[in-house]
Amino acid sequence: MELETALQSAETLLQPLAVEIKRPEPERVDVYITLENLKPAVQTLVDAHWGYLAAITGVDKPAPAVAGAAPDGDVEVLYTFANGGALATLRVRAPYTDAQIPTICDIIPAATLFERELIEMLGVDCIGTPDRGHLILPDEWPEGVYPLRKSFTGLNQE
Amino acid sequence: MENPESPQKFVVPIGPQHPALKEPAHFEFSVDGEIVTGASVRLGYVHRGIEKAAEARNYPQGLYLVERVCGICSHVHALSFALGTEKLAKVVAPPRAQAIRVLTSELERLHSHMLWLGVAAHEGGFDTLFMYSWRDRETVMDLLEQMTGNRVNYSINIIGGVKQDVSDEIKTAILKGMDFLEGRMTHYLTVVTTDETFLGRTRDVGVMTREQAETLGPVGPTARASGVPIDVRVDSPYAGYVDFPVNLIVDDGCDLLARFVVRIKEMQESIRLIREILDHLPEGELAVRVPRRIPENEIIQRVEAPRGELFYYMKSNGTDMPERVKIRTPSLCNWASVINLAPGYKLADMPMILAGIDPCFSCNDR
Amino acid sequence: MELSLHPIILLLFFPGGLFLFVAGLLYEWVDRKLVAQYQNRIGPRFIQPLADIIKLLAKEEIVPDGVHKGLFIALPIVGLASALAAALYVPLVGFNPSYSFNGDLIVVVYLLSVMTLCLGLAGANTADRFSLVGATRTLTQLFSYEAPFMLSLLGPAIVAGTWQISEINAFAIESRPWWFAFTQIVGFLVAMVGLMGKLEMPPFDAPEAETEIVAGALTEYSGRGLALFRLGKDVELVIGLTLIAAFFMGGLANPLDFLWKTAILILVVAALQSLFARLRIDQTVGLWWRAGALLALLQLLAIILGRYLQPVLSQFFSGLFGG
């Protein structure tokens, strides 16, 4: 089946770079990788013409915090590539304490809009991204406030 | 190119308030006479924080919420959310419900493409086509109102199936409407491909070759008009598309004219599909029970909106509210194509190039 | 038909002045209603253009920063005034022109262009980007259709052997049923389309393309200035139609003639408006300079040749048939 071959080829391509590979759904393969391997993994997929970048999703995962202590969680970023019906997701984790990931805009220029949203909504910096302007937040939005983080419950100013 | 002796650059702002835009957005085109030399876009004027709001509402409430991301493609948002929740809960809606969902999706595609046809014609100064296509669109709107009770935001989905059934009178009315629209579609295809003044505005305007399309990453009819064969209904069939497959409509024109042709042909395909669904509507239940609390799970659901691929990532955490709902709308993917293609064309072509990707700012901004 | 009224009445009430305003508004309504019918809509009631003008006159006139205030206020007035002045030399409502002298054809065409010049200047005066782009387009369009339009009007003038509008009108009446619309069909078409260009009607409305540059040169105008420009355009519509009907449709001998001939013309103009998409400014210029000017020149050549060869040809034909 074409779906299976596509998924297999993604697995083979990413095997050397992956920490772990899972199949959560019939059409999906999840590849857990470290931050250093993000760009090589993206490059591998692009060189093999394995589909196109469908989305960059950020998921906030705050650790259960002790009252008063600084949150010690991280943000998981998912890079989903779609090839026909098959979906391959690269998963990296960026800890709150060092919320930075390398940009993939030099490999996929169209990713800039997704990265802009990630930067402003979840506070994960993409090093080297060409445009850091606000995508959907207003210009007067206060610095350092990231609406999609669980810790954000509303703007209390004014 | 660098360091002009006298700065000929002149920035024409379009938006946030402009007759060409139906929703607010801000474009800046640097022009040199009539030729555009650079383009930039600022979105976010209708950002409402829907993704965050979905995390604070339970699943049925979330369904109503995401329907209001966009007025034109509201059904596909709700459909995607419902399908995603059903996947999280590991249930499958009954076949009749899936078929009715597809029926509504195709009717929505018809109305959205006709709306777009009128708006794009208006941008080109062809008001007669605008008036005629919107008059014909009323047929679809009346059918939707008869079927679901509303012209926009049909709200026919519930988690687990659909709310309303398709009775025999509605069936007859829809078939009659389709007969009428089929003739109109043939007429519009002829107009768009043979009217000289219209061709002068659309042929060889906004050209995006297949290689460019594959790098810039557009989805939907914009990509299909450049020969890229992607369509979620064909690649990864969902809901009723498994039983009622769709033909992929691709055109190699790569210009604005090709985008018109692709959308009109898609409308013809939708008419064919609607007729087929109505002829073979499966019997059965309309909905299936879904538990209130959804166990921990994480899914990705893709759906073909009229504008392209709609991507939903949903994560549940065992409670009755989702942990994360991520919506990636098709219009977001299509922007790169406009910004990179605009330079080199005339200012007068800008509204038409913008209209060619069928932008939906509410979808972008959520 | 001769009209002998006191000059003041001619100027202010009939057929100039007030009557011309009313006629202009009426023709605007007919045009809008016809276009609406072509587009399968209902269209406005007959009182709509008057209501528009009244509403505009009642609105506050906002003079934007950075403009030359005197020019801003004066330009609409000058535009309207020149259009009204042009009315004195054309056979309005089928009566002989109130004032007439040799060469008034040139004067009338010039006066009609003053309106467009005022439009362009008004746009250039304003410091707003849209107005500047609109002004550029207006003036570009003026340069492109002016030559073919004049050339096409020269056709009947040459045949009539005069530059005086009233005499051309008389000649056209005498040479019925040979309307110049038939004998100089190319010139007629060029003149019709030229009029649409002058009035910035679709498909030649690039200078005020609503979806591209908001309202072109008139973007910053509101209230009185806008009302006067609109009135000026309506008056030009009437005068333009009168001129074309007088020249190409067998002259205007009496008011009834005027009514039905201009009615036919406005039907055609409304149809042309609804049929096409808007032409880009470069397409408009290209169309006019390549097709329009060429056609008008060919028409003129045909006429001139015809005049020179006429004695020869008539001898030839009488020899052939008279025998």
Residue from the list B43, B230, B299 with its beta carbon closest to the beta carbon of A136: B43
Q: Are B220 and B307 in contact (CB under 8 A)?
A: yes
The model's confidence at residue C269, banded by pLDDT at 50, 70 and 90, is confident
Beta strand A86-95 with B10-14 is: unpaired
Neighbours of chain C (3+ CB pairs under 8 A): B
Give the per-residue pLDDT at B79: 92
Distance CA B356, CA B121 (A): 10
| Residue C272 with chain B: CB contacts under 8 Å | none
Contact A52 B217 (CB under 8 A): yes
Contact C277 B123 (CB under 8 A): no
Structural tokens at position C74: 């004066």
Distance CA B86, CA B315 (A): 12
Q: Would you tell me which residues 103-132 of chain C have a C-beta closer than 8 angstroms to some C-beta of chain B?
A: 129-130
Instruction: Give me the residue label for tokens 């994360």.
Output: B324
| Top-confidence residue, A148 or C315 | A148
Q: Are C90 and C166 in contact (CB under 8 A)?
A: no
Average pLDDT, chain C: 81
Instruction: Give me the residue label for tokens 């169209």.
Output: A110
Weakest mean pLDDT among B75-89, C107-121, C301-315:
C301-315
Helix and strand totals (H; E) in chain C: 14, 0
Amino acid at A79: Y
Taking residues A64-74, report their average pLDDT: 53
The model's confidence at residue C322, banded by pLDDT at 50, 70 and 90, is low
φ/ψ (deg, to 5) at C93: 55, 25
Give the per-residue pLDDT at C23: 87
**Mind listing the domains of chain B with CATH numbers?**
48-330 (1.10.645.10)
Say yes or no to pLDDT of A36 above 70.
yes
Q: Which of B258, B201, B257, B204 is nearest to B227 (CA)?
A: B258
Weakest mean pLDDT among A60-64, A116-120, C74-78, C105-109:
A60-64
Distance CA C105, CA C150 (A): 9
Contact C206 B346 (CB under 8 A): no
Which residue does chain B place closest to C274, by CA atoms? Answer: B128
B216 vs chain A: nearest CA distance in angstroms?
A: 5
| Residue A109 with chain B: CB contacts under 8 Å | 215-216, 336
Residue from the list B10, B20, B200 with its beta carbon closest to the beta carbon of C211: B20
Whether a cis peptide bond, with omega within 30° of 0, leads into B282 is: no
Which residue does chain A place closest to B214, by CA atoms? Answer: A52
Distance CA B273, CA B255 (A): 27
Neighbours of chain B (3+ CB pairs under 8 A): A, C
B75 vs chain C: nearest CA distance in angstroms?
A: 29
Q: Are B66 and B77 in contact (CB under 8 A)?
A: yes
Q: Which of C141, C266, C148 is nearest to C204 (CA)?
A: C141
Taking residues C71-87, report their average pLDDT: 87
Average pLDDT, chain A: 80
Contact C129 B10 (CB under 8 A): yes
Q: What is the DSSP letter of B253?
A: -
**Mind listing the domains of chain A with CATH numbers?**
2-62+74-127 (3.30.460.80)
Chains C and A make contact, 3+ CB pairs within 8 Å: no
Residue from the list B19, B135, B197 with its beta carbon closest to the beta carbon of C203: B197
A85 contact partners, CB below 8 Å, separation of at least 6: A2, A3, A6, A27, B235, B236, B237
Say yes or no to pLDDT of A1 above 80.
no
Give the per-residue pLDDT at A66: 43
Angle, CA A27 vertex, CA A21 and CA A29 arms, to 5°: 15
Contact B19 C214 (CB under 8 A): yes
Residue from the list B42, B87, B326 with its beta carbon closest to the beta carbon of A57: B326
Residue-by-residue DSSP string for C195-242: HHHHTT-TTS-GGG-HHHHTTGGGTT--THHHHHHHHHHHHHHHHHHH
Residue spans of beta strands (DSSP E) within chain B: 10-14, 26-32, 35-42, 157-158, 161-162, 297-305, 308-316, 322-328
Distance CA A4, CA C40 (A): 54
Strand partners, B305: B308
Structural tokens at position C139: 């003036």
Give the per-residue pLDDT at A69: 39
C299 vs chain B: nearest CA distance in angstroms?
A: 25
Residue B155: Cβ within 10 Å count: 18
Contact B34 C282 (CB under 8 A): yes
Q: Would you tell me which residues 242-301 of chain C have a C-beta closer than 8 angstroms to some C-beta of chain B?
A: 274-283
Which residue does chain A place closest to B326, by CA atoms? Answer: A57
Which residue does chain B place closest to A131, by CA atoms? Answer: B40
Q: Are B358 and B329 in contact (CB under 8 A)?
A: no
Task: Please identify every stretch of chain B with a pLDDT value under 70, giving residue numbers as ranges.
Answer: 1-9, 20
The model's confidence at residue C323, banded by pLDDT at 50, 70 and 90, is very low
